[in-house]
Amino acid sequence: MSTSNQQATPSRLAVPELSIGIGLLACAAAVAWQTLAIPVSPLYSKVGPTVFPYITMTGMVILSLLLIVAALRGGWQPEEEKETPTDWKAMGFVVVGLLANLLLIQPLGFTAASVIMFVLICYGFGSKRPLRDALLGLILALAAYFGFARALGVNIGAGFVENQLNTIINSIISMLRA
């Protein structure tokens, strides 16, 4: 009876947390594999380039074991997070938007890829007016391209939209000169 407080949080295996612990252990294994692949010159045998990686790997193994123990005791995810159901559809649209950007940025250029990503993410977040979003995305992408990127001296490459605009701008400049 005295343990009623403890029964409120039953110690059950928490699967998501357990997989995070195991995932971290796998990362530690990858660190070990990559550390073994570092060629060590005997000149630096005292504190060579592998000492810190080994320390990091040891730390990761200990931490992942502690996380696994915590997962076996019921996990640590805050109640508030657990109770909120995940909106998979919204997340799915964001992920599709990101992937579209990744695949299209080289063939179509930054602006076109950004507009597609913008519309998909807005739709995922519940916006119901894709045409207006496309227009907003276009304005924002052009502002980012001509303002932000140019001001920072960052070159993000040019695609179809940028080339057309650059030709128009160049022709306007040459018309003004003439």
Partner 1 sequence: METFGHLAHGFSVAFTPVNLMWCLVGTTLGTAIGVLPGLGPALTIALLLPITYQVAPEASFILFAGIYYGAMYGGSTTSILLNTPGESATIVTALEGNRMARSGRGGAALATSAIGSFVAGTIGTMGVAFLAPIVVKFALSFGPAEYFSLMVLAFITVSAVLGSSSVRGLTSLFAGFVIGMIGVDLQTGQPRFTFGTSELLDGVDVIIVAVGLFAVGETLYMASRRYAGKDEIVPLKGSLYMTAAEWARSWRPWLRGALIGFPIGAMPAGGAEIPTFLSYAIEKKLSRHKEEFGTVGAIEGVAGPEAANNASAAGVLVPMLTLGLPTSATAAIMLSAFQSYGINPGPLLLTTQADLVWGLIASLFIANVILVILNLPLIGLWVRLLKIPAPQLYAGILVFATVGTYGISQSPIDLVILYLLGAAGFLMRRFDFPTAPVIIGMILGPLAETQFRRAMTISNGDWTVFYRHPLSLTLLTLAFIGLVGPHIWAYVERRRLRGPEHVPGDA
- Choose between 150 and 173: whose C-beta lies nearer to partner 1: 150
Ranges within 159-178 binding partner 1 (CB under 8 A): none
Dihedral through CA 145, CA 148, CA 150, CA 153, nearest 10? -130
- Choose between 89 and 172: whose C-beta lies nearer to partner 1: 89
Judged by CB under 8 A, the residue of 7, 8, 46, 79 near partner 1 is 46
CA torsion sign for 68, 73, 78, 81 is: positive
7 binds partner 1 (CB under 8 A): no
Ranges within 60-119 binding partner 1 (CB under 8 A): 60, 63-64, 66-67, 70, 76-78, 81, 84-88, 90-91, 93-95, 97-99, 101-102, 105-106, 110, 113-114, 117-119
Which stretch in 46-54, 161-169, 170-178 sits in contact with partner 1 by CB under 8 A?
46-54
Q: Which amino acid is at 10?
A: P
